[in-house]
Structure 1
Amino acid sequence: MTGGVAISGVSKSFGPEGNRTTVLDDVSLTIGRGEFVSVIGPSGCGKSTLLKIVAGLIPADEGSVTVDGESVKTATRDKLIGLVPQSPALLPWKTVLDNVRLPMRINPKANAGRTLRHPEELLTSFGLGHALHKYPSQLSGGMQQRAAIARAFVFDPGVLLMDEPFSALDEMNRDQQRLGLLEFWQSNRKSVLFVTHSVPEAIMLSDRIVVMAAHPGRIAEVIDVDLPRPRSVEAYATDEFRDLEGHVRRTLHSVMEETHV
């Protein structure tokens, strides 16, 4: 595989020797160049752990991960990965523009020869052109999260990792933000690994949905999302969307029943 992400036989355990808990067990998955893949499953199935391994934040015990054909260590050094955490993690004493500029100012020598996105243009494309010189405390939660997403795009990474970025928002705001992300992604096709607990969110955004089971964390099923693109809010009302939602929910119910047997 030359583009996107290749996860092969990844396992991860935590805890002291002799009493370790297996969080991920032999997980293999590919995310093609420009493909949007969501991961959903019950608490404890290892969704966020998998994302952190792909991001290079924690090592796998077994298996391997490559990003655009490179090791995770090399990919992070070359800034091929953009990460959007659950919390926006914006510095409160810096303006929105300075927060988005910050990655460019850290180790500027490493940026030589790279294609960098213009922070003002990025923020404007996320509907924040009016908020460049405001501070995070002056923004709503949804606007703060959009700023965090814009920051992840500064280096124009080929792979974007998103860990439930809209989970702290109310449903109406969350839907607005996911539609905004969908519109931006549809014109800037990146490989995305997106962790979520929301079935409608996973369906609306994704090309494929990975349903994980817990104890230990493993892939139970991979569901293709065959809804046509580009997608808009009208997709929610279609029979195809409702059929997919039923399929995903039945799979999740089955997975959770297995967990509690």
Structure 2
Amino acid sequence: MAGQMKMDTQPAHGDAAEEQVTHPEDRANAGVRIHGIWKSYGTGDTRSVVLEGIDLAIQRGEFVSVIGPSGCGKSTLLKVIAGLTDANGGDVTIDGSSVRSAAKNKMIGLVPQSPALLPWRTVLDNVRLPMKVNRRANGGRNLRSPEDILHSFGLGQAIDKYPAQLSGGMQQRVAIARAFVFDPSVLLMDEPFSALDEMNRDQQRLGLLDFWQSNRKTVLFVTHSVPEAIMLSDRIVVMAAHPGRIASIIDVNLPRPRDADVYATDEFRDLEGEVRSTLRAVMEDQHV
């Protein structure tokens, strides 16, 4: 597998954000609920709308990928859900809680593109790091054993090694393992395999798939790779740009569990054709 650490960041939703969302439908329907999100930068003539009218419901335990052209707001959407940037309008809830409350309770795991492992710490110490930050706030939380997590990720032999002694794929795997220390209910992944070559990338995505199939976390996964989106996902959200919006949602009805043999099936090739055709239409519309 591959990826990056759970970011222990302070959410950026300001005083207007509620600690708990009181909508009963959000409490009854666990997962991620995104209602009417829009985001812009600048003012007046320089104002640029990055996201417009984003509505999306991700069920608990569902794996959803987001794909689309550069500049369509994929990463910005993840930052809004994680509480790292404010939306100008709309609402996000995590298992019925506001983003502020979900972040405070370590319910959100964020995996950026770069592993950002500390080179002077061993693999085990890098995975332990979130547990050592703000120890008082971690009291009473459901913390998972770093050693057990590393073994489950196939990194048991690398516990005492340093990042420089690992391949890029193994570093990404350590970083994803670190995101699981607090056992988050939602994992947000922003192109965690983009820096890897295709062979290593495929190995890591299959590792992630295998691990996810054993625990079924709710995942929102940003990617530029059509095969990656199909192999991993239950649904694929295709976004359009200028402004960023949802153009189409494609169901991936391939049976689970999945392995590398799925690539060779007619069903996989048909889905790949459908996703690529949708992306072409999005790009053509963008340049009209």
What's the TM-score bracket when you normalise by the shorter of the two chains?
over 0.9
Give the corresponding residue for 1:116.
143
Q: Say whether residues 1:100 and 2:115 are aligned partners.
A: no
Q: Say whether residues 1:222 and 2:249 are aligned partners.
A: yes
In structure 1, distance between residues paired with 2:280 and 2:264: 23
One-letter identity of the residue aligned with 1:197: H
Give the corresponding residue for 1:196.
223
Using a 3 Å threshold, how does the CA distance of structure 1 residues 257 and 156 change in structure 2: closer, same or farther?
same
In structure 1, distance between residues paired with 2:73 and 2:190: 12
- The CA RMSD over aligned residues, in Å, is 0.8
In structure 1, distance between residues paired with 2:256 and 2:167: 29
In structure 1, distance between residues paired with 2:239 and 2:47: 20
Q: Say whether residues 1:19 and 2:19 are aligned partners.
A: no
One-letter identity of the residue aligned with 2:245: R
One-letter identity of the residue aligned with 1:24: L
TM-score computed with the length of structure 1 as normaliser: 0.98
* 1:65-214 superposed matches below 5 A: 65-214=92-241
Report the alpha carbon displacement of residue 16 of structure 1 after superposing the two structures with TM: 4.0
Q: 2:87 aligns with which of 46, 52, 60?
A: 60
Q: Secondary structure at the match of 1:116?
A: coil
In structure 2, distance between residues paired with 1:241 and 1:71: 37
Q: Say whether residues 1:51 and 2:78 are aligned partners.
A: yes
One-letter identity of the residue aligned with 2:39: K
Report the alpha carbon displacement of residue 17 of structure 1 after superposing the two structures with TM: 4.2
Q: Say whether residues 1:249 and 2:276 are aligned partners.
A: yes
Q: 1:39 aligns with which of 66, 69, 77?
A: 66
Give the corresponding residue for 2:8.
none
* Structure 1 unmatched runs, 5+: none
Question: Residues 1-23 of structure 1: CA distance to partner in whole angstroms, max 9, x if unpaired?
Answer: 33110000000011244411000
Question: Residues 239-258 of structure 1: CA distance to partner in whole angstroms, max 9, x if unpaired?
Answer: 10000000000000000001
Give the corresponding residue for 1:234.
261
Q: Say whether residues 1:4 and 2:31 are aligned partners.
A: yes
Question: Residues 23-60 of structure 1: CA distance to partner in whole angstroms, max 9, x if unpaired?
Answer: 00010101100000000000000000000100111010
Question: Residues 98-128 of structure 1: CA distance to partner in whole angstroms, max 9, x if unpaired?
Answer: 1100001111122222211110111111111
- State the aligned residue count: 261
TM-score computed with the length of structure 2 as normaliser: 0.89
In structure 2, distance between residues paired with 1:175 and 1:109: 40
Q: 2:55 aligns with which of 3, 9, 28?
A: 28
One-letter identity of the residue aligned with 1:249: R
In structure 1, distance between residues paired with 2:45 and 2:178: 42
In structure 1, distance between residues paired with 2:256 and 2:140: 34
Runs of 4+ in 1 over 4 A off after TM superposition: none
One-letter identity of the residue aligned with 2:170: M
* Structure 2 unmatched runs, 5+: 1-25
Q: Secondary structure at the match of 1:43?
A: coil
In structure 1, distance between residues paired with 2:183 and 2:270: 35
Report the alpha carbon displacement of residue 175 of structure 1 after superposing the two structures with TM: 0.3
Report the alpha carbon displacement of residue 82 of structure 1 after superposing the two structures with TM: 0.5
Q: Secondary structure at the match of 2:141?
A: coil
